A and B are shown apart, each in its own frame.
Chain A
Amino acid sequence: MLSVLQNPRQAAAQLLNFGLILSTAFMMWKGLSVIADSPSPIVVVLSGSMEPAFQRGDLLFLWNRNWFEETKVGEIVVYNVKGKDIPIVHRVVRKFGVGDEAQLLTKGDNNVADDTELYARGQDYLVRKDIIGSVVAYIPFVGYVTILLSEHPWLKTVMLGIMGLVVVLQRE
Protein backbone atom coordinates (compact mmCIF):
# COMPACT_ATOMS: atom_id res chain seq x y z
CA MET A 1 0.00 0.00 0.00
CA LEU A 2 2.81 2.37 0.88
CA SER A 3 4.54 1.70 -2.41
CA VAL A 4 1.34 2.64 -4.21
CA LEU A 5 1.39 6.02 -2.52
CA GLN A 6 5.07 6.47 -3.24
CA ASN A 7 4.79 5.70 -6.91
CA PRO A 8 1.39 6.72 -8.27
CA ARG A 9 2.52 6.30 -11.89
CA GLN A 10 3.36 2.68 -11.38
CA ALA A 11 0.09 2.05 -9.58
CA ALA A 12 -1.77 3.77 -12.41
CA ALA A 13 0.10 1.64 -14.96
CA GLN A 14 -0.78 -1.59 -13.17
CA LEU A 15 -4.42 -0.59 -12.89
CA LEU A 16 -4.37 0.32 -16.58
CA ASN A 17 -3.02 -3.10 -17.59
CA PHE A 18 -5.94 -4.73 -15.82
CA GLY A 19 -8.41 -2.25 -17.30
CA LEU A 20 -7.09 -2.72 -20.82
CA ILE A 21 -7.54 -6.49 -20.66
CA LEU A 22 -11.20 -6.05 -19.71
CA SER A 23 -11.87 -3.20 -22.12
CA THR A 24 -10.19 -4.94 -25.06
CA ALA A 25 -12.35 -8.03 -24.52
CA PHE A 26 -15.47 -5.84 -24.35
CA MET A 27 -14.54 -3.79 -27.43
CA MET A 28 -13.79 -6.93 -29.46
CA TRP A 29 -17.26 -8.20 -28.61
CA LYS A 30 -18.78 -4.85 -29.56
CA GLY A 31 -16.73 -4.79 -32.76
CA LEU A 32 -18.10 -8.19 -33.69
CA SER A 33 -21.61 -6.96 -32.85
CA VAL A 34 -21.22 -3.95 -35.11
CA ILE A 35 -19.80 -6.01 -37.98
CA ALA A 36 -22.52 -8.65 -37.75
CA ASP A 37 -25.14 -5.96 -36.96
CA SER A 38 -26.43 -8.12 -34.14
CA PRO A 39 -26.71 -7.27 -30.44
CA SER A 40 -25.47 -10.75 -29.63
CA PRO A 41 -23.35 -12.19 -32.47
CA ILE A 42 -22.43 -15.37 -30.55
CA VAL A 43 -25.03 -17.47 -28.71
CA VAL A 44 -25.08 -20.84 -26.98
CA VAL A 45 -27.79 -23.39 -27.77
CA LEU A 46 -29.73 -24.05 -24.57
CA SER A 47 -32.28 -26.67 -25.66
CA GLY A 48 -32.46 -29.76 -27.80
CA SER A 49 -35.25 -28.39 -29.97
CA MET A 50 -33.00 -28.14 -33.05
CA GLU A 51 -31.50 -31.64 -32.83
CA PRO A 52 -29.98 -33.23 -34.81
CA ALA A 53 -28.64 -29.98 -36.30
CA PHE A 54 -27.60 -28.40 -33.00
CA GLN A 55 -27.12 -29.90 -29.56
CA ARG A 56 -27.17 -28.22 -26.19
CA GLY A 57 -23.91 -26.36 -25.71
CA ASP A 58 -23.14 -25.65 -29.36
CA LEU A 59 -21.74 -22.20 -29.99
CA LEU A 60 -23.42 -20.35 -32.86
CA PHE A 61 -22.12 -17.40 -34.87
CA LEU A 62 -24.78 -15.04 -36.17
CA TRP A 63 -24.98 -12.68 -39.13
CA ASN A 64 -27.75 -10.13 -39.21
CA ARG A 65 -27.28 -8.32 -42.53
CA ASN A 66 -29.28 -8.97 -45.67
CA TRP A 67 -26.68 -7.89 -48.20
CA PHE A 68 -27.52 -10.30 -51.00
CA GLU A 69 -30.89 -11.76 -50.20
CA GLU A 70 -33.67 -11.62 -47.67
CA THR A 71 -34.01 -14.01 -44.81
CA LYS A 72 -35.71 -16.99 -46.44
CA VAL A 73 -37.49 -20.21 -45.61
CA GLY A 74 -35.07 -22.88 -44.42
CA GLU A 75 -32.67 -20.51 -42.67
CA ILE A 76 -31.94 -21.09 -39.01
CA VAL A 77 -32.47 -17.85 -37.14
CA VAL A 78 -32.20 -16.60 -33.58
CA TYR A 79 -35.06 -14.40 -32.41
CA ASN A 80 -36.19 -12.61 -29.29
CA VAL A 81 -39.77 -12.71 -28.12
CA LYS A 82 -41.13 -9.53 -26.55
CA GLY A 83 -41.09 -9.84 -22.78
CA LYS A 84 -38.76 -12.83 -22.70
CA ASP A 85 -35.05 -12.29 -22.52
CA ILE A 86 -33.88 -15.72 -23.72
CA PRO A 87 -33.14 -15.84 -27.46
CA ILE A 88 -34.52 -18.87 -29.32
CA VAL A 89 -32.76 -20.73 -32.17
CA HIS A 90 -35.27 -22.18 -34.67
CA ARG A 91 -35.75 -22.63 -38.41
CA VAL A 92 -37.92 -20.42 -40.63
CA VAL A 93 -40.63 -22.68 -42.11
CA ARG A 94 -43.14 -20.24 -43.62
CA LYS A 95 -42.84 -16.78 -45.08
CA PHE A 96 -45.58 -14.49 -46.35
CA GLY A 97 -44.79 -11.24 -48.10
CA VAL A 98 -41.45 -9.54 -48.75
CA GLY A 99 -39.26 -6.95 -47.08
CA ASP A 100 -39.33 -5.82 -43.47
CA GLU A 101 -43.04 -6.48 -43.15
CA ALA A 102 -42.83 -10.13 -44.25
CA GLN A 103 -44.50 -12.49 -41.80
CA LEU A 104 -42.27 -15.35 -40.67
CA LEU A 105 -43.17 -18.56 -38.88
CA THR A 106 -40.50 -20.61 -37.13
CA LYS A 107 -40.30 -24.17 -35.78
CA GLY A 108 -37.70 -26.25 -34.00
CA ASP A 109 -36.57 -29.24 -36.12
CA ASN A 110 -37.05 -31.53 -33.14
CA ASN A 111 -40.40 -30.03 -32.06
CA VAL A 112 -43.76 -31.45 -33.08
CA ALA A 113 -45.52 -28.11 -33.45
CA ASP A 114 -44.49 -24.71 -34.76
CA ASP A 115 -43.55 -21.82 -32.51
CA THR A 116 -46.89 -19.97 -32.24
CA GLU A 117 -47.11 -21.26 -28.67
CA LEU A 118 -43.74 -19.67 -27.85
CA TYR A 119 -44.53 -16.23 -29.20
CA ALA A 120 -45.88 -13.46 -27.01
CA ARG A 121 -49.60 -13.29 -26.24
CA GLY A 122 -51.45 -12.16 -29.34
CA GLN A 123 -48.42 -12.59 -31.59
CA ASP A 124 -48.91 -15.07 -34.44
CA TYR A 125 -45.76 -14.48 -36.46
CA LEU A 126 -42.33 -12.84 -36.43
CA VAL A 127 -41.13 -9.90 -38.49
CA ARG A 128 -37.57 -9.28 -39.62
CA LYS A 129 -36.69 -7.00 -36.74
CA ASP A 130 -37.54 -9.66 -34.13
CA ILE A 131 -34.63 -11.67 -35.53
CA ILE A 132 -31.15 -10.98 -34.15
CA GLY A 133 -29.28 -13.04 -36.73
CA SER A 134 -29.04 -16.09 -38.96
CA VAL A 135 -26.67 -18.90 -38.02
CA VAL A 136 -23.64 -18.90 -40.32
CA ALA A 137 -21.16 -21.06 -38.39
CA TYR A 138 -20.99 -23.12 -35.24
CA ILE A 139 -18.55 -24.85 -32.92
CA PRO A 140 -19.95 -27.97 -31.26
CA PHE A 141 -20.09 -28.26 -27.48
CA VAL A 142 -17.69 -25.51 -26.40
CA GLY A 143 -20.54 -23.41 -25.00
CA TYR A 144 -21.46 -26.14 -22.55
CA VAL A 145 -19.36 -24.43 -19.86
CA THR A 146 -21.83 -21.54 -19.72
CA ILE A 147 -24.74 -23.97 -19.40
CA LEU A 148 -23.02 -25.76 -16.54
CA LEU A 149 -22.27 -22.45 -14.84
CA SER A 150 -25.86 -21.23 -15.07
CA GLU A 151 -27.40 -24.57 -14.02
CA HIS A 152 -24.99 -25.22 -11.14
CA PRO A 153 -24.31 -21.85 -9.54
CA TRP A 154 -21.88 -23.37 -7.00
CA LEU A 155 -19.47 -23.92 -9.91
CA LYS A 156 -19.21 -20.15 -10.25
CA THR A 157 -18.06 -19.94 -6.64
CA VAL A 158 -15.49 -22.66 -7.26
CA MET A 159 -14.23 -20.90 -10.39
CA LEU A 160 -13.98 -17.53 -8.67
CA GLY A 161 -12.08 -19.22 -5.85
CA ILE A 162 -9.59 -20.80 -8.24
CA MET A 163 -9.12 -17.52 -10.12
CA GLY A 164 -8.60 -15.69 -6.85
CA LEU A 165 -5.98 -18.22 -5.78
CA VAL A 166 -4.14 -17.86 -9.08
CA VAL A 167 -4.11 -14.08 -8.73
CA VAL A 168 -2.83 -14.30 -5.16
CA LEU A 169 -0.16 -16.90 -5.90
CA GLN A 170 1.09 -15.45 -9.16
CA ARG A 171 2.17 -11.86 -9.56
CA GLU A 172 2.79 -10.18 -12.90
Chain B
Amino acid sequence: MAVSTDRISVHSMADLKNTSDDAIPAYLNSLKFTQSHHLSDTRLALGYSAFAICAATFYWDYKLGFESTKHYTAVAVAIYAILNGILTFWIWGVEKGKVYIGTNKAGQRIEISSKTEKFTPIYNLSVTTVQKGGKSETVSIKKPFNAWFDKAGHFVALPFQQMLASGVKIVGEADPTKVVEAKKKEKKVEGPDKSMDEKWASLLAESSGVSLDDVVASPAATPSGRKKRAKKA
Protein backbone atom coordinates (compact mmCIF):
# COMPACT_ATOMS: atom_id res chain seq x y z
CA MET B 1 0.00 0.00 0.00
CA ALA B 2 1.78 3.06 -1.22
CA VAL B 3 -0.71 5.71 -0.18
CA SER B 4 -2.65 5.29 3.01
CA THR B 5 -6.39 5.76 2.83
CA ASP B 6 -6.51 7.69 6.10
CA ARG B 7 -6.27 11.42 5.85
CA ILE B 8 -4.86 13.80 8.40
CA SER B 9 -4.99 17.54 8.65
CA VAL B 10 -1.77 18.85 7.13
CA HIS B 11 -2.01 21.87 9.42
CA SER B 12 -1.77 19.80 12.58
CA MET B 13 1.81 19.26 13.69
CA ALA B 14 0.69 16.56 16.13
CA ASP B 15 -1.02 14.62 13.34
CA LEU B 16 1.97 14.96 11.04
CA LYS B 17 4.40 13.78 13.69
CA ASN B 18 2.25 10.97 15.08
CA THR B 19 1.50 9.54 11.65
CA SER B 20 5.17 9.65 10.72
CA ASP B 21 6.19 8.15 14.08
CA ASP B 22 3.74 5.29 13.54
CA ALA B 23 5.13 4.62 10.09
CA ILE B 24 8.63 3.92 11.40
CA PRO B 25 7.85 0.70 13.32
CA ALA B 26 5.56 -0.45 10.51
CA TYR B 27 8.39 -0.09 8.00
CA LEU B 28 11.27 -1.42 10.08
CA ASN B 29 9.32 -4.38 11.43
CA SER B 30 8.52 -5.32 7.85
CA LEU B 31 12.30 -5.42 7.24
CA LYS B 32 12.70 -8.15 9.89
CA PHE B 33 13.79 -5.84 12.66
CA THR B 34 12.58 -7.09 16.02
CA GLN B 35 11.03 -4.23 17.95
CA SER B 36 11.79 -3.87 21.63
CA HIS B 37 8.94 -2.49 23.69
CA HIS B 38 10.64 -2.27 27.06
CA LEU B 39 10.53 1.56 27.21
CA SER B 40 6.81 1.85 26.58
CA ASP B 41 6.05 -1.22 28.68
CA THR B 42 7.84 0.31 31.65
CA ARG B 43 5.98 3.57 31.11
CA LEU B 44 2.64 1.77 30.96
CA ALA B 45 3.46 -0.28 34.07
CA LEU B 46 4.38 2.87 36.04
CA GLY B 47 1.32 4.76 34.86
CA TYR B 48 -1.16 1.98 35.49
CA SER B 49 0.24 1.24 38.96
CA ALA B 50 -0.24 4.91 39.84
CA PHE B 51 -3.75 4.76 38.45
CA ALA B 52 -4.50 1.58 40.41
CA ILE B 53 -3.40 3.25 43.65
CA CYS B 54 -5.68 6.18 42.87
CA ALA B 55 -8.60 3.86 42.16
CA ALA B 56 -8.04 2.02 45.45
CA THR B 57 -7.91 5.32 47.32
CA PHE B 58 -11.12 6.43 45.67
CA TYR B 59 -12.82 3.16 46.57
CA TRP B 60 -11.89 3.08 50.26
CA ASP B 61 -12.55 6.78 50.67
CA TYR B 62 -16.00 6.30 49.14
CA LYS B 63 -16.77 3.19 51.22
CA LEU B 64 -15.27 4.07 54.58
CA GLY B 65 -15.13 7.87 54.72
CA PHE B 66 -12.25 10.24 55.34
CA GLU B 67 -11.54 9.92 59.06
CA SER B 68 -10.98 6.18 59.27
CA THR B 69 -8.81 6.01 56.13
CA LYS B 70 -6.74 9.18 56.27
CA HIS B 71 -3.44 7.51 57.20
CA TYR B 72 -3.75 5.10 54.28
CA THR B 73 -4.73 8.01 52.07
CA ALA B 74 -1.61 9.93 53.10
CA VAL B 75 0.58 6.94 52.22
CA ALA B 76 -1.27 6.48 48.92
CA VAL B 77 -0.80 10.14 48.00
CA ALA B 78 2.94 9.86 48.72
CA ILE B 79 3.32 6.68 46.64
CA TYR B 80 1.28 8.23 43.84
CA ALA B 81 3.52 11.31 43.82
CA ILE B 82 6.67 9.15 43.74
CA LEU B 83 5.36 6.95 40.92
CA ASN B 84 4.36 10.01 38.94
CA GLY B 85 7.80 11.50 39.54
CA ILE B 86 9.48 8.35 38.24
CA LEU B 87 7.11 8.34 35.26
CA THR B 88 8.01 11.93 34.43
CA PHE B 89 11.69 11.09 34.73
CA TRP B 90 11.20 8.06 32.51
CA ILE B 91 9.50 10.09 29.78
CA TRP B 92 11.93 13.04 29.85
CA GLY B 93 15.15 11.40 30.92
CA VAL B 94 15.03 7.88 29.49
CA GLU B 95 12.56 7.76 26.59
CA LYS B 96 13.53 11.20 25.28
CA GLY B 97 11.17 10.99 22.32
CA LYS B 98 12.35 7.53 21.23
CA VAL B 99 9.81 6.09 18.84
CA TYR B 100 11.54 2.88 17.89
CA ILE B 101 14.10 0.47 19.28
CA GLY B 102 14.81 -2.70 17.38
CA THR B 103 17.47 -5.24 16.48
CA ASN B 104 18.05 -6.97 13.19
CA LYS B 105 19.12 -10.54 12.58
CA ALA B 106 22.81 -9.60 12.74
CA GLY B 107 22.33 -8.22 16.24
CA GLN B 108 22.71 -4.58 15.30
CA ARG B 109 20.47 -2.32 17.35
CA ILE B 110 18.75 0.77 16.01
CA GLU B 111 17.23 3.51 18.18
CA ILE B 112 15.21 6.27 16.59
CA SER B 113 13.91 9.38 18.31
CA SER B 114 11.87 12.06 16.60
CA LYS B 115 11.33 15.73 17.34
CA THR B 116 9.49 18.67 15.83
CA GLU B 117 9.66 22.33 16.61
CA LYS B 118 6.52 24.37 17.02
CA PHE B 119 5.41 26.09 13.80
CA THR B 120 8.21 24.45 11.76
CA PRO B 121 6.92 21.54 9.64
CA ILE B 122 10.25 19.72 9.66
CA TYR B 123 10.68 16.18 10.93
CA ASN B 124 13.89 15.76 12.93
CA LEU B 125 15.06 12.20 13.36
CA SER B 126 18.01 11.10 15.40
CA VAL B 127 19.06 7.55 14.58
CA THR B 128 21.56 5.69 16.71
CA THR B 129 22.97 2.45 15.38
CA VAL B 130 24.74 0.21 17.87
CA GLN B 131 26.95 -2.50 16.41
CA LYS B 132 27.24 -5.87 18.05
CA GLY B 133 30.52 -4.93 19.70
CA GLY B 134 28.94 -1.87 21.31
CA LYS B 135 30.26 0.70 18.84
CA SER B 136 27.52 3.27 18.27
CA GLU B 137 26.98 5.92 15.65
CA THR B 138 24.34 8.62 15.51
CA VAL B 139 23.03 10.33 12.41
CA SER B 140 20.38 12.99 12.29
CA ILE B 141 17.91 13.34 9.46
CA LYS B 142 15.87 16.47 8.84
CA LYS B 143 13.16 16.60 6.23
CA PRO B 144 10.02 18.62 5.70
CA PHE B 145 6.78 16.70 6.16
CA ASN B 146 5.54 17.59 2.69
CA ALA B 147 8.08 15.16 1.28
CA TRP B 148 5.78 12.28 2.27
CA PHE B 149 2.40 13.88 2.85
CA ASP B 150 0.41 14.94 -0.16
CA LYS B 151 -1.73 18.07 -0.23
CA ALA B 152 -4.84 16.24 0.91
CA GLY B 153 -3.04 14.81 3.93
CA HIS B 154 -2.45 11.24 2.73
CA PHE B 155 0.70 9.55 3.94
CA VAL B 156 2.86 8.36 1.02
CA ALA B 157 5.10 5.54 2.16
CA LEU B 158 7.73 5.42 -0.58
CA PRO B 159 9.57 8.73 -0.02
CA PHE B 160 9.39 8.18 3.72
CA GLN B 161 10.95 4.75 3.45
CA GLN B 162 13.51 6.07 0.97
CA MET B 163 14.52 8.69 3.51
CA LEU B 164 15.16 6.03 6.17
CA ALA B 165 16.85 3.59 3.80
CA SER B 166 19.14 6.26 2.39
CA GLY B 167 19.89 7.93 5.69
CA VAL B 168 20.56 4.93 7.87
CA LYS B 169 23.12 2.38 6.72
CA ILE B 170 21.67 -0.74 8.28
CA VAL B 171 18.18 0.09 7.00
CA GLY B 172 19.63 0.60 3.53
CA GLU B 173 21.33 -2.78 3.75
CA ALA B 174 18.05 -4.40 4.70
CA ASP B 175 16.12 -2.70 1.91
CA PRO B 176 18.60 -1.80 -0.87
CA THR B 177 15.91 -0.99 -3.46
CA LYS B 178 14.78 2.03 -1.48
CA VAL B 179 18.22 3.68 -1.27
CA VAL B 180 18.38 6.92 -3.19
CA GLU B 181 21.84 8.16 -4.14
CA ALA B 182 22.58 11.10 -1.92
CA LYS B 183 24.84 12.93 -4.33
CA LYS B 184 22.46 12.81 -7.28
CA LYS B 185 21.46 16.41 -6.86
CA GLU B 186 20.16 18.38 -9.77
CA LYS B 187 20.38 22.09 -9.64
CA LYS B 188 16.80 23.19 -9.58
CA VAL B 189 15.90 26.05 -11.84
CA GLU B 190 14.00 28.82 -10.19
CA GLY B 191 11.42 29.64 -12.77
CA PRO B 192 7.88 30.76 -13.29
CA ASP B 193 6.78 27.13 -13.68
CA LYS B 194 7.42 26.57 -10.03
CA SER B 195 4.15 26.33 -8.11
CA MET B 196 3.38 28.40 -5.07
CA ASP B 197 3.57 25.32 -2.86
CA GLU B 198 7.04 24.46 -4.04
CA LYS B 199 8.27 27.97 -3.44
CA TRP B 200 6.76 27.87 -0.02
CA ALA B 201 8.41 24.55 0.76
CA SER B 202 11.82 25.70 -0.37
CA LEU B 203 11.45 28.92 1.59
CA LEU B 204 10.52 26.99 4.71
CA ALA B 205 13.32 24.53 4.21
CA GLU B 206 15.80 27.30 3.70
CA SER B 207 14.76 29.10 6.85
CA SER B 208 15.19 25.92 8.88
CA GLY B 209 18.60 25.10 7.52
CA VAL B 210 17.54 22.09 5.44
CA SER B 211 17.93 21.59 1.75
CA LEU B 212 14.92 20.01 0.10
CA ASP B 213 17.08 17.92 -2.18
CA ASP B 214 19.19 16.72 0.64
CA VAL B 215 17.79 13.38 1.62
CA VAL B 216 20.67 12.48 3.87
CA ALA B 217 21.75 14.94 6.44
CA SER B 218 25.17 15.17 7.95
CA PRO B 219 25.71 13.79 11.44
CA ALA B 220 24.66 16.28 14.11
CA ALA B 221 24.12 19.23 11.80
CA THR B 222 23.50 22.50 13.56
CA PRO B 223 21.08 24.93 12.01
CA SER B 224 23.41 27.87 11.75
CA GLY B 225 21.34 29.64 9.14
CA ARG B 226 18.49 29.91 11.56
CA LYS B 227 20.51 31.70 14.17
CA LYS B 228 21.78 34.27 11.72
CA ARG B 229 18.29 35.01 10.59
CA ALA B 230 17.13 35.45 14.14
CA LYS B 231 19.84 37.94 14.84
CA LYS B 232 18.94 40.01 11.83
CA ALA B 233 15.32 40.14 12.88
Contacts and interface: CB of A to CB of B under 8 A. Distances in A.
B80 A20 contact: no
A20 B51 contact: yes
A171 B8 CA distance: 11
B96 interface: no
Interface stretch (A29-37, A44-52, A111-119, A149-157): A29-37
A27 B14 CA distance: 29
A13 B47 CA distance: 9
A34 B76 CA distance: 11
Question: Among A9, A13, A23, A39, which residue has the most Cβ atoms of chain B within 10 A?
Answer: A23
B166 interface: no
A34 B51 contact: no
Interface residues of B, number: 30
Nearest to A24: B84
Interface of A: 7, 9-10, 12-13, 16, 19-20, 23-24, 26-27, 30-31, 33-34, 37, 39, 171-172
Contact of A20 (B50, B61, B77): B50
Nearest to A170: B12
Contacts of A13: 40, 43-44
Nearest to B58: A26
A31 B84 CA distance: 14
A39 B66 contact: yes
Contacts of B67: 39
Contact of A30 (B37, B55, B76, B84): B76
Given A9-B41, A23-B51, A30-B76, 18 more contacts: A7-B22, A13-B40, A13-B43, A16-B47, A16-B51, A20-B47, A20-B51, A20-B84, A23-B54, A24-B84, A26-B58, A27-B57, A34-B73, A34-B74, A37-B70, A39-B65, A39-B66, A39-B67
